[in-house]
C-alpha cells in the first residue's frame, strides 16, 4: 500500500512538473508575441526598445518575424542605428503624407522591419546596414535607389523564404559558418 501511495505521489509530482514546464513554454511564446506587439508600437522609444530585445532574443524570434510577411502597417522606430539613422523617414501621423511617403518607398513597414531584424540577428549586429531601405544590386549603380518599393520587398521575402527553409534544416550557426545570409539568393540588400 505504501509503494502504491509513493507511485501516485511520484506521478502527481511528475505531472505537476510537466504541466508547469508546459505553462512556462506557453508563457514564453506569449511574451515573445507581446514583444512583437511592442515592436509594432506607434511610439518610437517603445518600438526601438522592442527591436533591441528581439535582437537579444535572437534566433527564437525568427518564426514570429517570418509571420510578418505582408504586414504593411508602418514601423515607427529607427532601430537605434549608430550613428543615429538620420536618413530614415518616420511616419508623420498625417495619413495623406504617410501614404505618399509609403508609395515612394520612404517609410518602413512592419514586414520590412522584420526583414531588417532577421538580417540583424543573422549578422549579430544591429548596425549591419546604414538604413532600413532595400536596394537592388543587380541594377547599374546609377539606377540603384534605396527605397522600400513593393517589388524590392517581394524579392527580399522570396529570398528569405528560401533561406528560412535552410534555417529550419541547418540552424543559424551553420548558416553563419557557411556565410549564407538571409538575402543570399538575391541581389537585394539593405542600404
The tens digit of pLDDT for each residue in 32-87 reads 999 999 999 999 999 999 999 999 999 999 999 999 999 999 999 988 876 655 56
3-state secondary structure of 69: coil
Residues whose CB is less than 8 angstroms from the CB of residue 100 and which lie 6 or more positions away in sequence, other chains included: none
Low-confidence ranges of the chain (pLDDT < 50): 1-26
3-state secondary structure of 134: strand
Count helices and strands (H / E) in the chain. 7, 2
> What pTM did the predictor assign?
0.83
Tell me what pLDDT residue 82 has.
63
β partners of residue 136 = 188
How many domains are there within the chain?
A: 1
What are the DSSP E strand ranges found in 1-144? 134-136
How would you label 144-167 residue by residue, b for 16+ Cβ within 10 Å and e otherwise? eebbbbeebbebbbebbeebbebb
Tell me what pLDDT residue 5 has.
42
Tell me what pLDDT residue 13 has.
39
Contact of 75 with 44, CB cutoff 8 Å: no
The kind and range of the H/E element at 106 are none
Range of the domain at 186: 2-190
Tell me what pLDDT residue 83 has.
60
What are the DSSP E strand ranges found in 21-138? 134-136
Give Dmax (Cα) for the chain.
Answer: 85
How would you label 52-89 residue by residue, b for 16+ Cβ within 10 Å and e otherwise? eebbebeeebbebbbebbeeeebbbbbbbbeeebeebb
- The rounded distance, in Å, linking the Cα atoms of 111 and 149 is 12
Distances (CA, A) of 105 to 1, 140, 150: 74, 19, 8
Closest among 180, 40, 62 to 118, alpha carbons compared: 62
Amino acid at each position: 500500500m505504501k509503494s502504491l501511495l509513493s507511485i501516485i505521489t511520484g506521478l502527481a509530482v511528475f505531472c505537476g512538473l510537466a504541466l508547469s514546464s508546459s505553462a512556462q513554454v506557453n508563457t514564453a511564446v506569449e511574451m515573445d508575441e507581446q514583444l512583437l506587439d511592442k515592436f509594432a508600437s506607434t511610439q518610437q522609444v517603445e518600438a526601438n526598445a522592442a527591436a533591441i530585445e528581439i535582437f537579444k532574443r535572437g534566433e527564437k524570434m525568427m518564426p514570429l518575424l517570418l509571420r510578418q510577411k505582408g504586414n504593411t502597417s508602418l514601423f515607427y522606430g529607427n532601430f537605434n542605428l549608430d550613428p543615429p539613422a538620420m536618413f530614415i523617414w518616420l511616419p508623420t501621423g498625417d495619413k495623406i503624407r504617410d501614404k505618399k511617403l509609403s508609395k515612394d518607398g520612404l517609410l518602413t513597414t512592419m514586414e520590412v522591419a522584420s526583414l531588417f531584424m532577421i538580417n540583424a540577428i543573422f549578422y549579430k549586429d544591429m548596425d549591419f546596414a546604414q538604413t532600413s531601405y532595400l536596394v537592388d544590386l543587380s541594377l547599374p549603380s546609377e539606377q540603384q535607389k534605396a527605397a522600400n518599393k513593393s517589388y524590392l520587398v517581394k524579392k527580399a521575402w522570396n529570398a528569405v523564404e528560401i533561406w528560412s527553409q535552410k534555417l529550419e534544416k541547418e540552424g543559424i550557426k551553420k548558416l553563419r559558418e557557411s556565410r549564407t545570409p538571409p538575402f543570399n539568393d538575391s541581389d537585394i540588400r539593405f542600404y
